[in-house]
Chains A and B, each alone.
Chain A
Amino acid sequence: DGGITQSPKYLFRKEGQNVTLSCEQNLNHDAMYWYRQDPGQGLRLIYYSQIVNDFQKGDIAEGYSVSREKKESFPLTVTSAQKNPTAFYLCASSISGRWVGGEQYFGPGTRLTVT
C-alpha cells in the first residue's frame, strides 16, 4: 500500500447523506486520482489533480466532489446526488503532474455501502 493511506476501510451511510473519503500520501507526488471499482469491473476515473489547488473531472464525476488544498491530501465527497454510491473507492498518486500516464501508486481502498 506504499505511502498512501485511505480511511476508513469500510464505511456505511444512509441514503441521502453526503460522505467524505480520506486520502493522504507522503510520497511528495504531484498528481492524485480517485477511482471507483464495481464488482468484476475495472477502474473508472472520478477526478484527478495534477497540482495543488487544481483538479479535473474524470469519466464519472457526476455526484462527486473533491478538493486539493494540500499536496498530500485529496479527499473525495460522495454526495446524495450520486445515484449508485455503493462501490470500492481507490485513491492513487503519481510522481509527475505533467504526465499522468506514468506509474500510479494505490492506497488500500475504502468500501462504501449506502443503504
Chain B
Amino acid sequence: SQQGEEDPQALSIQEGENATMNCSYKTSINNLQWYRQNSGRGLVHLILIRSNEREKHSGRLRVTLDTSKKSSSLLITASRAADTASYFCATDGRIQGAQKLVFGQGTRLTINP
C-alpha cells in the first residue's frame, strides 16, 4: 500500500540542537503533510507541501520534498522541550480508486533539557 515510512523511529537530542526526520513513500502524490502528536492527544497539522514544491518553511520548521526519490524531510531548528512529540508524515493519493490520506508510523522525538 502507499504508506509513508518515517526514519528514524525514535530520535533523542539536546535542547537547542536541530532535529531531522525523514519520510519515504511509494507512489505518486499530490501533496505530503506533516503532523505532530503530543502523547495521548490528537494530531496537529504542521505543514503541507505540494508535489510541485521542493521546499517550504514555517517558523522553525523546514520541509523538503524530492519526488524523484519519493522522500521528504522535516527539519526542526533550535529545538525546545515543547517539541517533544511524535511526528507523522501523511501522503495523499488514489488507492484502489479512492483518494485517501495515508499516515506513516511516526518518529518519536525527545528533546532533553
Contact = CB atoms under 8 A, between A and B. Distances in A.
**Binding site secondary structure of chain A:** loop
A74 to B, nearest CB: 15
Interface in A1-53: 1, 4, 35, 40-43, 45
15 contacts: A40-B105, A42-B103, A43-B103, A100-B92, A101-B31, A101-B92, A101-B99, A101-B100, A103-B33, A104-B43, A105-B45, A106-B43, A108-B41, A109-B40, A109-B42
Interface residues of B, number: 26
Given A42-B88, A101-B92, A106 B44 contact: yes
B105 A41 contact: yes
A90 B88 CA distance: 14
Contacts of A109: 40-42
B82 interface: no
Interface of B: 1, 3, 30-31, 33, 35, 40-45, 48, 88, 90, 92-93, 98-106
A100 B45 CA distance: 15
A34 B98 CA distance: 16
A107 B41 CA distance: 8
Contacts of A101: 30-31, 92-93, 99-101
Contacts, number: 61
Given A42-B88, A109-B40, 13 more contacts: A41-B106, A42-B104, A42-B105, A42-B106, A45-B100, A92-B42, A100-B100, A101-B31, A103-B33, A106-B35, A106-B43, A108-B42, A109-B42
Contact of B98 (A56, A104, A111): A56
B88 A43 contact: yes
Task: Give the size category of A's interface with B.
Answer: 20 to 34
